[in-house]
Amino acid sequence: MNTVLSRANSLFAFSLSVMAALTFGCFVTTAFKDRRVPVDVHVSKVMLKNVDDFTGPRERSDLGFITFDLSADILLEYCYSKLHVLHSTYFTGKWCLNQVLNLRDMKSKYFFFDDGNGLRANKNITLTLSWNVVPNAGVLPLVAGSGQVSLPFPEAYETTKSY
């Protein structure tokens, strides 16, 4: 005859199997959904400064700020998305790939900082919107919007007036 522990073990194993099957069903229903949305990014102002780097003797680095407009219909994705990030990529001779993270706002919260002078007169700074989708089960995908904008940085530095 089956003991109480044997019956409890069977009930627990069956319940765990059912929950695993339901979790897999949740994963399958959302894993292959295309979550890209159209994104429109418009940059209205780019400012570039040359500042002290403090990593070496008399080193100077580029510091850039942008002001941008962003429009994207992410209302349906917002329920599942936890991070809305505008990031940019640019290539310099010293480093292969550089990325700067900006929160979705009218002005960039974080500045562009390059170890050296890779931002000055760089003609191909690309801004794209991407976000992480937090699923019920499965992988955590990074989804990129279907729009992007490329912009040049100025050839001259802004000067700061001191009074």
- Is residue 158 assigned to a domain? no
Residue for token pair 């040049």: 152
- Is residue 157 assigned to a domain? no
Q: Do 145 and 99 fall into the same domain?
A: yes
Closest CA to 90 of 78, 80, 99, 77: 99
**Domain interval for residue 23:** 1-32
Reply yes or no on whether the pLDDT at 13 is more than 90.
yes
Q: Do 66 and 5 fall into the same domain?
A: no
Res 85: pLDDT:
55
Q: Do 54 and 97 fall into the same domain?
A: yes
- Is residue 11 assigned to a domain? yes
Contact yes or no for 100/112 (Cβ under 8 A)? yes
Res 137: pLDDT:
81
Per-residue tokens: 36: 């890209």
Closest CA to 103 of 75, 129, 81, 134: 129
Reply yes or no on whether the pLDDT at 3 is more than 70.
yes
Q: Do 18 and 47 fall into the same domain?
A: no
- Average pLDDT of the chain is 77
Q: Do 40 and 7 fall into the same domain?
A: no
Q: Do 115 and 67 fall into the same domain?
A: yes
Per-residue tokens: 151: 């912009």
Stretch among 18-27, 37-46, 55-64, 97-106 having the lowest mean pLDDT: 97-106
Q: Do 25 and 91 fall into the same domain?
A: no
pLDDT in tens, 83-125: 445 566 666 665 555 444 644 446 777 788 887 788 888 888 8
Reply yes or no on whether the pLDDT at 6 is more than 90.
yes
- Is residue 42 assigned to a domain? yes
Q: Do 58 and 116 fall into the same domain?
A: yes
Q: Do 28 and 64 fall into the same domain?
A: no
Q: Do 26 and 76 fall into the same domain?
A: no
Res 53: pLDDT:
77
Q: Do 50 and 21 fall into the same domain?
A: no
Q: Do 73 and 146 fall into the same domain?
A: yes
Count of domains observed in the chain: 2
Res 90: pLDDT:
64
Confidence of residue 73 (pLDDT cuts 50, 70, 90): low
Q: In what order do the strands lie in the sheet with 142-151?
A: 98-103, 81-90, 125-133, 142-151
Q: Where are the beta strands (DSSP E) in the chain?
A: 39-52, 60-72, 81-90, 98-103, 112-114, 125-133, 142-151
Q: How far apart are CA 16 and CA 24, in angstroms?
A: 12
